[in-house]
């Protein structure tokens, strides 16, 4: 980039990023009351427990996010307000990410920031009441200070910042520990001399999060050896499906069903146009750009996901679309740098233009198709339950965990009128429980992951 273009970008940068963030805020404020799903209720249940400290210790994940959510919930426990915390955390991740990539290029910062801000999976977790909302800014912070250390190794603030980012990650989610070797590799590839990573400052930066993880995993959590993340062993189909969802491939074709209905003669051209443009885009990303500058980011993303696969095969399955999120940060940064450092004028124009187009396109997809749609329909189930049941009716929940998210919305449901049946099946206990309540009428709600059948009698 010439000096004149550099000065021009410096003048425009703050305004472009400002508009970008305003758009990011606007699209994230849509659908905050869409309805919780089971995993979100688990978060709400933890912070609502009478013994909050014990509830956090007995859960499967580190405590940092839940303590933050607990403080936030002192103002309001309403769903939309709880989601606002995730919106703030998600936007903070975007801001840190943009500032990080700005160290490479103003243009790369804008291009990568716009794409990162609008990827479907990032938008989803800008709403979810789960710890992944905090995992992203922790990851972005770690990469930000790791990048600064590659050029300013003597500044102790950078070492403290790196330790803080990594410690936040391991205190938020157990997959945060995978970031420690990932960031280490990133720094080694970024430094002119890898031996310098053995300095006391670097060792302290990595030692602090390692100690924090050990204390959380072996001391704080009550059942670290019983971890079951409810995830299948990765297969080629699972890996492919996860990649398509995380990278927004499925979202690229969201108008296709409508086109097939209203203009079927355009369906095939539209389908192939998207595929060809995306193939050309990926080919240009790989074939052009300054790999010397961008390779450490690509290697970091690859290393993070490779570690997840190794752990999933050897220890416990953890490879899933939400746990792969931290790897997106260096990969999207790689995309931005490749776009900005391409020397061929028209290829660079194509890469930048198509990335911005993707950002706007994915934003429309989020607004039209995803922002207001709940993951599971517990609120609708609760509303139908409240509309049809009598005050003395007994409600039977199968499986038993269905009561929690429904009770969140159906707060008039008395515990004396509820019978819970575990998934393993306890039909004799069900019969005894119902008979002991001596009901005149029975209202049976059979609920499974938001699908429901109502039987009255």
Query: Which of 392, 441, 229 lies closest to 315, judged by CA?
Result: 229
Could you tell me the pLDDT band of residue 394, with boundaries at 50, 70 and 90? Answer: confident
pLDDT of residue 454: 46
Q: Verify that 359 and 388 share a domain, yes or no.
A: no
pLDDT of residue 177: 97
pLDDT of residue 434: 59
Q: Verify that 240 and 346 share a domain, yes or no.
A: yes
pLDDT of residue 392: 73
Q: Verify that 87 and 235 share a domain, yes or no.
A: yes
Residue 422 has pLDDT above 80, yes or no: no
Could you tell me the pLDDT band of residue 457, with boundaries at 50, 70 and 90? Answer: very low
Could you tell me the pLDDT band of residue 455, with boundaries at 50, 70 and 90? Answer: very low
Could you tell me the pLDDT band of residue 448, with boundaries at 50, 70 and 90? Answer: very low
Bigger pLDDT: 9 vs 415: 415
Residue 441 has pLDDT above 70, yes or no: no
pLDDT of residue 202: 81
What average pLDDT does the chain have? 87
Please tell me the total count of domains within the chain.
2
Residue 52 has pLDDT above 90, yes or no: yes
Domain with 399 in it: 378-456
pLDDT of residue 450: 43
Could you report the per-residue pLDDT of 142-172, keeping only the tens digit for each?
999 999 988 777 788 899 999 999 999 999 9
Could you tell me the pLDDT band of residue 338, with boundaries at 50, 70 and 90? Answer: very high
> How large is the average pLDDT for residues 187-200?
76
Among 370, 391, 411, which residue terminates a domain?
370
Could you tell me the pLDDT band of residue 40, with boundaries at 50, 70 and 90? Answer: very high
Among 312, 344, 370, which residue terminates a domain?
370
Q: Verify that 358 and 445 share a domain, yes or no.
A: no
What is the pTM (predicted TM-score) of this model? Answer: 0.90
Q: Verify that 320 and 427 share a domain, yes or no.
A: no
Could you tell me the pLDDT band of residue 4, with boundaries at 50, 70 and 90? Answer: low
Q: Verify that 382 and 353 share a domain, yes or no.
A: no
Return the minimum-mean-pLDDT range out of 71-75, 253-257, 344-348, 441-445: 441-445
Residue 359 has pLDDT above 70, yes or no: yes
Among 370, 400, 419, which residue terminates a domain?
370
Q: Verify that 244 and 279 share a domain, yes or no.
A: yes
Bigger pLDDT: 296 vs 1: 296
Could you report the per-residue pLDDT of 275-285, keeping only the tens digit for each?
999 999 999 99
Residue 451 has pLDDT above 50, yes or no: no
* Cα–Cα distance, 137 to 331 (Å, whole number): 15
pLDDT of residue 7: 53
Q: Verify that 356 and 421 share a domain, yes or no.
A: no
Q: Verify that 254 and 398 share a domain, yes or no.
A: no
Residue 83 has pLDDT above 60, yes or no: yes
List the structure tokens of 456: 């009255």
Q: Verify that 27 and 115 share a domain, yes or no.
A: yes
Q: Verify that 414 and 268 share a domain, yes or no.
A: no
Q: Verify that 93 and 193 share a domain, yes or no.
A: yes
pLDDT of residue 277: 94
């Amino acid at each position: 980039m010439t000096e004149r273009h550099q000065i021009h970008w410096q003048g425009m940068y703050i305004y472009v990023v400002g508009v970008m963030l305003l758009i990011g805020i606007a699209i994230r404020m849509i659908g905050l009351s869409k309805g919780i799903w089971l995993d979100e209720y688990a978060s709400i249940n933890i912070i609502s427990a009478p013994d909050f400290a014990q509830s956090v210790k007995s859960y499967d994940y580190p405590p940092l996010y839940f303590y933050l959510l607990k403080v936030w919930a002192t103002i309001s426990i309403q769903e939309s307000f709880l989601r606002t915390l995730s919106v703030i955390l998600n936007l903070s991740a975007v801001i840190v990410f943009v500032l990080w990539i700005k160290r490479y290029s103003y243009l790369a910062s804008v291009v990568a920031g716009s794409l990162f801000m609008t990827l479907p999976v990032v938008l989803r977790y800008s709403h979810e009441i789960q710890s992944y909302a905090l995992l992203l800014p922790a990851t972005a912070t770690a990469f930000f200070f790791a990048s600064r250390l590659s050029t300013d190794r003597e500044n102790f603030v950078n070492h403290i910042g790196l330790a803080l980012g990594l410690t936040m990650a391991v205190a938020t989610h157990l997959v945060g520990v995978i970031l420690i070797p990932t960031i280490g590799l990133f720094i080694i590839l970024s430094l002119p001399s890898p031996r310098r990573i053995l300095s006391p400052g670097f060792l302290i930066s990595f030692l602090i999060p390692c100690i924090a993880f050990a204390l959380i995993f072996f001391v704080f959590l009550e059942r670290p050896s019983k971890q079951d993340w409810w995830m299948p062993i990765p297969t080629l189909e699972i890996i492919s499906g996860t990649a398509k969802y995380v990278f927004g491939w499925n979202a690229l074709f969201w108008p296709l069903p409508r086109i097939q209905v209203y203009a079927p003669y355009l369906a095939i051209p539209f389908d192939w146009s998207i595929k060809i443009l995306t193939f050309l885009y990926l080919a240009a990303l790989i074939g052009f750009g300054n790999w010397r500058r961008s390779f450490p980011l690509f290697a970091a993303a690859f290393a993070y996901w490779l570690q997840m696969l190794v752990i999933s095969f050897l220890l416990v399955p953890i490879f899933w679309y939400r746990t792969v999120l931290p790897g997106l940060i260096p990969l999207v940064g790689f995309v931005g740098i490749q776009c900005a450092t391409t020397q061929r004028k028209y290829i660079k124009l194509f890469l930048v233009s198509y990335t911005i187009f993707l950002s706007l396109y994915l934003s429309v997809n989020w607004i039209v198709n995803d922002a207001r749609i709940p993951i599971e329909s517990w609120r609708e189930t609760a509303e139908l339950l409240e509309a049809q049941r009598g005050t003395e009716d007994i409600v039977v929940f199968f499986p038993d965990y269905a009561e929690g998210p429904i009770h969140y919305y159906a707060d008039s449901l008395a515990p004396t009128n509820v019978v819970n049946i575990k998934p393993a099946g306890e039909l004799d206990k069900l019969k005894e429980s119902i008979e002991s309540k001596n009901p005149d009428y029975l209202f049976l709600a059979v609920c499974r992951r938001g699908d429901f059948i109502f039987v009255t009698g």
